[in-house]
Amino acid sequence: MNPIYLNSNCIIDFDPVFERLNEELSITGHSLELVCAGGYVMQRYGYKATADVDAFYTSTAAIEAIIRKVGDEFGINRPDELWLNNSIARFNPEPSSKHYKLALSFSNLIVNEVDITYLIGMKLISGREQDMVDIGTILEQDNNQDPFRLFSELIEMNFSIDISGLLDAYEKAHGMNWLDKFYQNNQDELRRFF
C-alpha cells in the first residue's frame, strides 16, 4: 500500500492506517488503547502535518510487530522509528483521562487525543525551537493571554517546567511589546518564579 495523503502538502491521513491496524489487531486477537500526543494531535487540530504518531500505550513484542507490519504496508515506517511509537512516555507524564478525549473507536483499537494544554506542556518539555514556534502558534490562534493560568494547569498535569520557557512561547505568539507589558504589569507575581 502507498501512504494515503489528504492533500498535495503530503499530510498523511492516518484514519485508514488506524483502520488497518485495527484489522490486524482483530486477526491476531489483540486490543490496544492509545492516548495520542505530539504532531498527530497538532495535525488533528489543524496546525501542521506529521509523519508519525506519538502515543502512550502498553507495548509488547506482539503489538510492536503488528505496528511495524501495518507501517510497512503503508510505507510510513522510518528506518529508525515506527510510524506509531510510545517514546514520549520516557519524557512526559501520562495524561489523566480528563486531559484527553476519544478521537477514533474500532472493535480492537481505541484512539484518544490529548487536549491542547497537555500538548503545550509536552512541547515545552521538548524545548526544541520548532516546538516553541508551535506553542507560539497555538497561543496566538487561541488568543491565550494568561501565562499564570496556563502555567498552573501544566504544573497540575505534572509537567516539570520553568515559567521562562512558557514566557518565551508567549513572546513568539504575541510579540516582544506584549511581553514587556506583561513583565511591567506583573512584576510582583513574577518575583515568586525568579
- Of the candidates 119, 54, 63, 120, the one whose C-alpha atom is nearest the C-alpha of residue 90 is 54
**Is 160 exposed, middle or buried, given 0-12, 13-18 or 19+ CB atoms closer than 10 A?**
exposed
Other C-beta atoms within 10 Å of 141: how many? Answer: 13
**Whole-number percent of the chain with pLDDT over 70:** 95
Provide the residue ranges of all domains of the chain, joining segments of one domain with +: 15-114, 118-190
Decide if pLDDT at 39 tops 90.
Answer: no
pLDDT number for residue 152: 95
User: To the nearest whole number, what is the mean pLDDT of the chain?
Assistant: 91
In angstroms, rounded to a whole number, what is the distance separating the alpha carbons of residues 172 and 120? 14
28 pLDDT band (50/70/90 cuts)? very high
In angstroms, rounded to a whole number, what is the distance separating the alpha carbons of residues 30 and 62? 9
pLDDT in tens, 88-123: 999 999 999 999 999 999 999 999 999 999 999 999
pLDDT number for residue 194: 78
Phi-psi region of 82 (alpha: psi -120 to 50; beta: other; left: phi over 0): beta
**Is 52 exposed, middle or buried, given 0-12, 13-18 or 19+ CB atoms closer than 10 A?**
buried
Decide if pLDDT at 67 tops 70.
Answer: yes
β pairing state of 32-37 and 109-114: parallel
pLDDT in tens, 146-155: 999 999 999 9
